[in-house]
Amino acid sequence: MSMTPKVSVLVVDDHPGSLEFVSSALRTDGVEVLTSANPEDALDKVYSARPQVVLTDLVMPGMSGMELLERVVEFDPSIQVVLMTAHYSTESAVEAIRKGACDYLDKPIKVGTLRERVGRLIEDARQIQRASRLENELLESCQFEGIVGRSPLMWDVFSRIRRVAPHFRTILITGETGTGKDLIARALHRLCPSANGRFVALNCSAVVETLLESELFGHVRGAFTGAVQDKPGMFEHAHGGVLFLDEVGDMSAGAQAKLLRALQNQEVQRVGSVSTRKVDVRVVAATHRDLRERVANGSFREDLFYRLSMVEIRVPALRERKEDLPLLERYFVKKYAEQFDKEVRELTQRAHLALARHNWPGNVRELENVVGHACMMTASEMIDVGDLPDYLVSPSHAESATTADAISPQSFEEHERHLIADALARSGGNQSEAARMLRIGRDALRYKIKKHHLA
């Protein structure tokens, strides 16, 4: 069986003889040739079949080839459009190229010229398909314990995890907010000798300072108001496993002292108790703070810092590993397409560029929210710039914007129903026109109308 990717070519011409001539000349193994004598019908085929190449006559009734070109480029600029005309002029050729056409052929077209010029576009499309297939394979091979990356910085992180996981008792993970420090902690747990034990996580900055010691070490009945019974702390709960202390840099001085004692002696003392209890716990601490600076200004204990940082893993910011961006985009598109049960495949080139230009202050977490938002908003199989949050498209919004709102299947269903109902209303109930507004095929629109019970 041939592994050559199949390329789809759409030929649009209102002259039946010309349509048959061009389609016959291009029809070969690995090439699917679609035809249309009506530009409106052709546009619908563009939305539903997403051909890689479109050849269109320039002068047609109802819609000119130039207008069809603009509509196709607006829908997906990666589609290669070739204009054909018996009324050649330098001005129209320049206008076509300016509007996004990749070639301009003068009728009558010789078979050899047609096959050579379009053949190059078909081969380019095959190369893109091969690259896409290789990127999918690359995504599979560039995941380490659920962490996606192929940059040298991330390979170094993966290597350090492998080396230290079998041996660590305490370890410090540093990095900006949203870089995935919790994923590193879970990878260390899965690969360490305590993998069969619990993974217990506590965000130190999310617990009221007066209750942090009780959360970590437990308390006995009557230790304070509200302590109506004995309660084990996180250390005891994680006995035989791994305790992940996120944002450890926000701990109070008193909690730091008790944590140091627990790490040194592998024992804890519940609040209000005079006795100690032995624990066997591996501790992974994480922070986005500069602990060395905090040690220098006296807000973090130096002895605790050295105890925690016997081994340190720094997680790079997304802006430092931009080569991982396409992989992460593909990973999150696949994740949210499955979650929303949508046939979203990838991003357009324009959307890729918009994401590549962004500095990602929120790191991978921000990227995940952006792609999830886009998967919810898009009405087609491709995410375009219009599906991205405004602050990524409009630089003036960038400074004041926050990351995308939380995504939920419920909000997606409501949003999709609203879009379809609005398109039907604006088109006066004309399903073909509504499908063109939504940039989807008529069959897809009919399915969604039935799905949302829209008359």
Q: E-strand spans in 346-449? A: 346-347, 382-383
pLDDT (0 to 100) of residue 287: 97
pLDDT tops 80 at residue 154: yes
The 3-class secondary structure across 262-313, one letter per residue, is HHHHCEECCECCCCCEECCCEEEEEECCCHHHHHHCCCCCHHHHHHHCCCEE
Q: Cis omega before residue 108 (within 30°)?
A: yes
pLDDT band at 100 (very low <50, low <70, confident <90, very high): confident
Looking at the whole model, is its pTM more than 0.85?
no
Q: E-strand spans in 345-447? A: 346-347, 382-383
Q: CA-to-CA distance for 372 and 366, rounded, in angstroms?
A: 10
Q: Which candidate, 7, 3, 6, 101, places its Cα nearest to that of 52?
A: 7
Q: Could you give all domains of the chain from N- to C-terminal order, each with its CATH number?
A: 7-140 (3.40.50.2300), 152-314 (3.40.50.300), 319-451 (1.10.8.60)
Quick one: CA dihedral 67, 379, 80, 26, positive or negative? negative
pLDDT in tens, 330-340: 999 999 999 98
- As a 3-state breakdown, the chain gives helix, strand, coil percent values, each rounded to 5, of 50, 15, 35
Residue partners of 348: CB distance under 8 A and separation at least 6: 76, 77, 78, 382, 383, 384, 385
3-class state of residue 216 by DSSP: helix
pLDDT in tens, 162-197: 999 999 999 999 999 999 999 999 999 999 999 999
Scored b (16 or more CB within 10 A) or e, 320-345 reads bbeebbbbbbbbbbbebbeebebebe
pLDDT in tens, 208-251: 887 898 899 988 888 787 777 888 999 999 999 999 999 999 99
Quick one: CA dihedral 94, 98, 103, 104, positive or negative? negative
pLDDT (0 to 100) of residue 5: 62
Q: Which candidate, 348, 417, 427, places its Cα nearest to that of 376?
A: 417
